[in-house]
Each structure stands twice: as C-alpha cells, then as structure tokens.
Structure 1
C-alpha cells in the first residue's frame, strides 16, 4: 500500500507519454506556476524538480518571456535565478489600487557608501572599508546592512587575527535587480547617468575599482567578530 502511495504522489517530470508539443507546454506551465507561487527568485535546481532531464530550462524561460511580452508582468533574471515581476510602467496603477506605495528601504549615505565599497571590492574586512572611505566603519553600519540582507560574512582574512570579511548577498542582487555581480554598472556608466561623483568619492578617500589604492596593506588592531 505504501508503495502505491509513493507512486501516485510522485511527479512525472519526463512526460514521455505526451506528444512533444504538449510535453513542452506542460513544462512551461509548471515552470510558470512555480515562479508565480514563489516568494522570491527561483533557481535552476528548484525548477529542475518539475521538468524532465531532457528539458532545457533556458529555452523554457525564453518561451515564457515571449508569451508574457504583452502582459503587465515579466520574467526577469535576478539573484542567480528567475522571478515574475510587474513591469515598471504599471507601478502607478498598482500604487493607486492599493492606496500606498511600499516603503523603500532607507539607507543612509554612509551605509550606501559602505555597501558600494563591499560590492565592488568584496570580500573585504571592516578595517579595509574604513581605509577606503577615510573613517572607521562602525559595527552599527555593518549590522544595519546585515539586517537588511544586503551583506553577509565572507571568508576569514589571511591577515593576523583572521578578521571577518564581508560580501554581498542574494538579497542585495534581488533588491537592485541584478542577476549576478557581473551586472554591476561600471563607474563610467554611473557617472554619465549623474548617479555618481567620482571626484567627490576620491576626495573622500574611496578608491574606485581599478585605482592604485586598492592594495591597502595589513590592518592594525582589527577585532572583527562577525556581528
């Protein structure tokens, strides 16, 4: 009896009995259903649970995107997976319907500067971050970024005392709509868009990617505890 129950509840991912066209449609429907129900980005491993070994997840994703071309939501690559998101042009209608706009995550100027430093220079210790921006980075700033799921602990530094390093998280990628860290905008693009003043950053002691100041040397008195 137990054997029959396992057989009837197991999901047939191969769908070998279906014609090729119907099998493909079913795989598309399953993937879209999982994406619709998921609270966040869905990675390849999870999607592989509902489609067969011969199914190309990338091609399924492409076909779903094409099918949603005229819909008010789209399928985007984010945080190493995929997620259904409403299109930005419908934001005003959504806000009008629900009466209020979701409160954005508020980061201070210092927190944004530290987060940018980690994003472009990770893994990096708190002491190195202080040298980059020209002042000590408090544990409160690190704690705030960790509480917001923007950063997490990285590998221990090989420096004396083996201080903690910090790296960005999948939450960071999701919040900023990035698939991987390779999608981080380059400094020139940010400057051209008026979103970054490199002169001001350099004046404040923040070394930009590719600057000679990236080699910061050993840290003195580092006492990271990973908090």
Structure 2
C-alpha cells in the first residue's frame, strides 16, 4: 500500500505548462539563468524531463514563457480611469518592481526585442503616448525613450543590488559609497561630492519615477 500512496501524492497536482513556468520562475529567482536546467526542473516538479518536454520544447521557450508571465503580472494595474501620465507611471513602476523582484528578466527582455514580453510593454506605453497627443511622427521616439529608460534603470538597479549590497545591507552600502564620494578630490569631482548626501538618502523607486517625470515633461513640452 505504501508505494501506491507515494505515487498518489506525486500526482496530487497534475503537471501543466503553468506549473512548469511557475517552477522555472522560482528556479530563475534563486539560481539565475544558469541554474535553470531541465534536470533541476524535473527534481523541483518531481517528474521526468520527458513530461516537461511534452509542454515546452526547450530552455529558450521556457525562458520566454517565464518572462511573459512576469511581465503580464507587472501590467495588471487598473489604469482605465487614469490620466496618460499616471498610467505610464504605473506601468513603468510595475516593470521596475518586476525586474527588482526577478533580476534575470532584464537580460531576457533585452534579448527578445521582437517577441511578446517586450512588445506588451511597448504597446502599453505607445497607447498612452498617443493619448498624450504626441504627433504621430514623434510617437515611436517617445515610446522608445520611455521603454529604454525603464529597462536600463530597472536592469542597472537589479544588477547593483546583486553585485554591491546583498539583502539587508543596502543602507550600509550607500553609507560607504556616499563617504567615498564625499572624500573625492574637490576640484575634479565638485558636483559628485556635493550630492554625496543625496546618494546616501535616496530611494530607488522615487528616483526612478522622477526620471519618468523628466521624460514625460520633455514629451509634453513640444505638444
């Protein structure tokens, strides 16, 4: 009877593409892209590689599906009654937070510019740019500027977090960096020394949204 019970436990939740993608995201979050192997995925799901291949053809498809799932979640905010500016801020912050929570996704989005995860973001941005009344000839440039800023700052923020300050030590890292800035040569780095205290006290999300507002100010100034 015992073997039959173990088999029943393994089949408690049927294997599906959604479960595979969820497991892939969990592995990517903990081990990065190099840690996403079909062997690790099989162990995580307590199944064989063949069962996984029934739902996905390979790692590239799995990475794309994982990125698409994360991006879709980041676009879930209801902006139906928001102004175009507020809708863009909400969209930008959703993607920024998604990259912060899933650092691997920044590189994945940059690697698949013509595929659905990035296109979803670009489409949403473009619709709001159009709603701002931006002339048709300038809409691509405006939407691209916003997209590049979101991916660039979001990706850099995630990279800095991984490389420079492990979880729980951001304050210590910023204190050290601000002290180093304040000690720079006053003639060669006059501006950097002057803003050292702002580096120590800044909030990444607040600064990110301030950059979005600068871009929006430029976009709407010519309207």
TM (normalized to structure 1)? Answer: 0.30
TM (normalized to structure 2)? Answer: 0.30
Higher strand share: 1
Bigger Rg, which one:
1
Higher helix share: 2
